[in-house]
Chain A
Amino acid sequence: MAAAKSGKTQIRIMIGSNAGGSGKTTTSVHLAYGLGKRGYKVTIVELDYSGSLSSFTGLPMNPTEDQSIATVLHKGFKGNYPLQPIWANKLSTVTAIQGGEAIRDCIREVPINARGHYTLQDRLLDYPLEADVVIFDTPASLEPMGVMALAASTHVLSPIKPEIKDAQGLFGFLRWYDTTIEELRLRPQPEILGFLPMRVDYVNSGTHRDVLGVDRKGKTQSNVDVSATLPGLLDSVGIHCFPPVKESKNYLRACVDGLPLPLYRPGLPAAQDFDPVINRIVQLLK
């Protein structure tokens, strides 16, 4: 196994939002690819049992318990992470640990284990993963896997669709984030990298334009009260808004082939939509 590129502390990012279909797995996969391409060692940890990670990576649809993160969370784990290389013919830097059905048992065990919500954090402390970046892909419901991920994270990134319902979901997520940190007394506190507007269509959706405060071309509207837009509101509490990732049918198509967009169609401009986030993470690693 190649050694981690960066000598710095491992960055562990929880990808989370309080809404379904916001592009959490899409974000996880594209960040992993982008960082892997730049030579950093990355591991995606899927904490969801829906199995959506398999579609972007070509990994098996129904991982066995031995192949799943469940084996890591169970008692008696001795550090043998079920790492699976992904896009191996293009890269040697990216691995994944799948979630899958076996996670259901772990979810039931969380309340009965003394350090239930800290299990993942404990594992990574006792048996360090050799990676520069670990990405936790979490399910839409935050209890209990989201809590476990937050306890193990150094950073949080929230992808959201700029719809009213999703924005309210994001606010719920932020309340959850603040409260969970207080309840679990997390020190140091995981830091919010920012929120990432996903699947944005400002040409056709008036709501997207209003939520983000932009015009049809995606330029900031001059006549809009910034303090009543999502980026303005989040900025007021020190949360950064990354440039949007635009809606594209190509994500679906790439997904069918088990590939991230830059591998599926390298020339597409949309393939660079995740670069601002990737650059920010690279900065943290330097």
Chain B
Amino acid sequence: MGKVGANLLAGFQGVRENQELISLRAQVQELQAALAQARAGELDEPEKADLDQRMEGLTAVLQETGGVHEIALDLIDRDDAQPRTVFPRVTIQERMESLRYHGQKTPIIVIPLEDGRYRLFDGELRFRSAQKLQWPKLKAVFLPEEEVTDARELFEGQVITSIHSQRLHDLDLATALVRLAVEQHPTLAGQEERFGTLLNTALRRLEREGKLSELAEIRLANPDRQTQWIEEAGFREFEEQQLFATILRLQLNPVSINSNVFPLLKLAEDLKEVIRTEGLESSKARELNRLSAEKLNQTEEKARQIRQQVTQDVIQNRLSLNETRKLVQQMIQAHNPQVRSAPSNDRWVKSVAAIEVDSIADAAILKELKAALKAKLDEVSQALRK
């Protein structure tokens, strides 16, 4: 190719990229609108089905352009960057049964690599189930490598799809958010340990300033509006802004990330492992995490043994959250008698303090809350009089 041709090709690349970007933005906008409706409960069944259908659209497009191929399982590599690592055994079991009886309905999406192997883009569950069934092959469609050159976008895409289909466990979401934040804002690298504190501090400040209730609307707003809000929200640290940008861009509420998601990062490694393999609920994992060396007054090794034993108990006997909490408390008291049942009283005080009054915009709910609190107060006064 001559110099002129090379020059034209290079310049034209910009036209193509711009078109792809615009078409992606349009798709994302449409999906966002549909998802916002879905969240607000505005979608009826046919509309929900339509949304699912559009999610499958990518597979269909790829099928049309590249056809469906049968790929040997041993040529497929899992994507290490895949944000979803939690696959409870029972889910895999279900999928195995479904594959065995109905066969593979939707092709998985793989990225053909230069060395003749394939990287899995979508379909991890089908892939794992097929492995267990000892199937030799799976049906797959190809996602061309040039469309996924930007690993960051690929990763973000996976997080978004997984959140949307609600397949991502809170623990995976937490890990993914940390990674995304650092990839989107490289200056955050090395500060990952601070993320929880940063978010918490920023939220407390928003709460004091009465801005917490704005988050519900802002998380569904378009990126420009979100950026504007972040700039005007009065954050002290630039890192806070960056963290909020990452969370809001995924339409997540920073309040629930702060209370339910980020705390999971502090779980003991063995508990994280149980979440990944057994699908243990995060609320129970957080209770079990209280079985620490310090609280139990034991060595790290001994504490880990106790924790594992209780965890197995919780899983095998399908203990409820309440039962788990009691069991944990019993274990702590058994090993460390100094710790009386004080924490449970403390817990009530904490949960009252945790009510985020500023985040409740609805006057009706506020009134209801006021009535409930008043009734409780009367009960407390009565108990004291006795």
A-B interaction: yes
Write out the residue numbers on chain A whose beta carbons fall within 8 Å of the beta carbon of B1: 225, 228
Q: Are B14 and A171 in contact (CB under 8 A)?
A: yes
Q: Are A225 and B5 in contact (CB under 8 A)?
A: yes
The 5 sampled A-B contact pairs (Cβ below 8 Å) are: A164-B4, A178-B22, A228-B6, A233-B8, A237-B19
Q: Are B22 and A233 in contact (CB under 8 A)?
A: no
Interface of A is mostly: helix
How many of chain A's residues touch chain B, expressed as a range?
A: 20 to 34
A230 to B5, CA, bound (A): 8
Known: A178-B22, A182-B25, A225-B1. A237 touches B16 (CB 8 A): yes
A171 to B10, CA, bound (A): 10
CB distance from A178 to the nearest CB of B (A): 5
Taking the complex as formed, is B352 at the interface, i.e. its CB lies under 8 A from any CB of chain A? no
Known: A171-B11, A233-B9. A211 touches B16 (CB 8 A): no
Q: Are B8 and A175 in contact (CB under 8 A)?
A: no
> Which residues of chain B in 1-57 are interfacial with respect to chain A, using CB atoms and an 8 Å cutoff?
1-2, 4-9, 11-12, 14-16, 18-19, 22, 25-26
User: Can you list the 10 inter-chain pairs with the closest CB atoms, starting with the nearest?
Assistant: A228-B5, A210-B4, A175-B18, A171-B11, A233-B12, A174-B15, A168-B11, A182-B22, A171-B15, A228-B1
CB distance from A111 to the nearest CB of B (A): 18
Write out the residue numbers on chain B whose beta carbons fall within 8 Å of the beta carbon of A178: 15, 18-19, 22
Write out the residue numbers on chain A whose beta carbons fall within 8 Å of the beta carbon of B2: 210, 228
Write out the residue numbers on chain B whose beta carbons fall within 8 Å of the beta carbon of A225: 1, 5
Write out the residue numbers on chain B whose beta carbons fall within 8 Å of the beta carbon of A92: none
A80 to B265, CA, bound (A): 71
* CB < 8 Å neighbour of A228 from B9, B19, B26: B9
Write out the residue numbers on chain B whose beta carbons fall within 8 Å of the beta carbon of A233: 8-9, 12
CB distance from B14 to the nearest CB of A (A): 6
A227 to B25, CA, bound (A): 27
Q: Are B19 and A207 in contact (CB under 8 A)?
A: no
Taking the complex as formed, is A141 at the interface, i.e. its CB lies under 8 A from any CB of chain B? no
Return the CB mask of A186-226 against B: 1 if under 8 Å, else 0.
Answer: 00000000000000000000010011000000000000110
Binding site for B on A (CB under 8 A): 164, 167-168, 171-172, 174-175, 178-179, 182, 207, 210-211, 224-225, 227-230, 233, 237
A167 to B26, CA, bound (A): 28
A182 to B5, CA, bound (A): 29
Known: A168-B11, A171-B12, A182-B25. A229 touches B18 (CB 8 A): no
Given contacts A171-B15, A229-B5, A237-B15, 19 further A-B contacts (CB under 8 A): A164-B4, A164-B7, A164-B8, A167-B7, A167-B11, A171-B11, A172-B14, A178-B18, A178-B22, A182-B25, A182-B26, A211-B4, A211-B8, A228-B1, A228-B2, A228-B6, A230-B8, A233-B8, A237-B19
A230 to B1, CA, bound (A): 13
A167 to B25, CA, bound (A): 27
A178 to B5, CA, bound (A): 23
CB distance from B343 to the nearest CB of A (A): 56
Q: Are A175 and B14 in contact (CB under 8 A)?
A: yes
Write out the residue numbers on chain B whose beta carbons fall within 8 Å of the beta carbon of A211: 4, 8
Chain B: which residue is nearest A227 at the CB level?
A: B9
Write out the residue numbers on chain B whose beta carbons fall within 8 Å of the beta carbon of A168: 7, 11
CB distance from A78 to the nearest CB of B (A): 38
CB distance from B222 to the nearest CB of A (A): 13
CB distance from A96 to the nearest CB of B (A): 32
A139 to B14, CA, bound (A): 23
CB distance from B253 to the nearest CB of A (A): 29
Write out the residue numbers on chain A whose beta carbons fall within 8 Å of the beta carbon of B16: 237
CB distance from A218 to the nearest CB of B (A): 17
CB distance from B32 to the nearest CB of A (A): 15
A182 to B19, CA, bound (A): 10
Write out the residue numbers on chain A whose beta carbons fall within 8 Å of the beta carbon of B22: 178-179, 182
Write out the residue numbers on chain A whose beta carbons fall within 8 Å of the beta carbon of B26: 182
